[in-house]
Amino acid sequence: GAPPPPPLHFMEALVHAYPDAAAEKNSEGKLPLHLASECIDITSRYLESEGILLLLSKVYPAGLTEKDGGGKVPLQILEERGVSKMGGKIGKSGVIRYMKSLTKGRSRSESESDKHHHDDNRS
């Protein structure tokens, strides 16, 4: 299987030192958010994994709607692994809801808001 995710404090230090890392894709077209979605530990370390997903989502929100080399956004990877359908805390996870709201909001309004961003400032 996939290697376990690095500790949250390590990820926070890395993102603090080099925020642009969250937007860097690897040779397979995967962002750190895609990789985190693949290796999130939904059993024993979900709080730490949840923290990593939230951190990467906040540092680079555009990553939520970016597709990897296989054409998947991070949320699709999580859903394929059954994370969002699981019972208990992880199924009702705030970060999953947060990712869903941003993924839907961004993909729906991306083309509009990017072109007409100044229209939002009407008084």
Residue-wise pLDDT tens digits, 71-114: 999 999 988 887 766 555 555 567 888 888 887 776 654 444 44
Alpha helices in 18-93 (DSSP H): 32-39, 46-59, 74-80, 88-91
Instruction: Indicate the pLDDT class of residue 123, thresholds 50, 70 and 90.
Output: low
Identify the pLDDT of residue 102.
Answer: 83
Q: Distance between CA atoms of 94 and 108, rounded to whole angstroms?
A: 21
Residue-wise pLDDT tens digits, 18-47: 999 999 999 999 999 999 898 877 666 777
